[in-house]
Amino acid sequence: MTSSSQPTAAIRSFQPGDLNHLLPLNTAAVPAVNELTAAEMLDLINQALICLVAEVNGTPAGFLLCIGDGTDYSSLNYKWLSEEVSNFAYTDRICVDESRRGLKIGEKLYHALFEHFEDTGRSFVCEVNSRPPNPGSLRFHQRLGFEEIGTADHGEKAVVFLKKDPVTAKAGAAE
């Protein structure tokens, strides 16, 4: 398949019926994300500030689940970020179908997130595993403008916390 005939991803908000596609994407991304049951994932989506879905040829091929500040979310990483940052959009998880890598789905999901919250003053935060290491994700986030703001060691897992400053219409146009 030549690059000119490669499919492209359309980004949209979560819709009923997506869960059956997103759950296997999440499971395939373990240990970069934690495993969830369908009920747990639906709970997260219902708490989310936004859940963006990348669709390729009519089928979900990736998603980004983002939770806002001030939520009663029990994640240790979310709690750390809540103590350090205010007015944020927390990427709890971003997962892309392995067979769709190379289509820049992760970048498209993030750019849609940045555009959605443009001029709101929200910072963008996330964490990346340092144990087990996930250097690809760290490089990816740094390429998008995220910078390290702290670390945490949870025993079996350790993470690096990252933050990207709020996007304004003027700054967004330059990216």
Q: Provide the CB-side half-sphere exposure for 1 (13 A, CA).
A: 8
What mean pLDDT comes out for the span 62-70?
96
Asked if residue 92 lies in contact with residue 99, where contact means CB atoms within 8 angstroms, the answer is no
* Model pLDDT, residue 171: 54
| Structure confidence by residue, pLDDT tens digits, 82-136 | 999 999 999 999 999 999 988 999 999 999 999 999 999 999 999 999 998 999 9
Show the domains of the chain with their CATH numbers. Answer: 3-123 (3.40.630.30)
Phi then psi for residue 68, to 5 deg, are -85, 170
| Structure confidence by residue, pLDDT tens digits, 16-60 | 899 999 999 999 999 888 899 999 999 999 999 999 999 999 999
Residue 158's identity, in one-letter code, is A
Asked if residue 53 lies in contact with residue 66, where contact means CB atoms within 8 angstroms, the answer is no
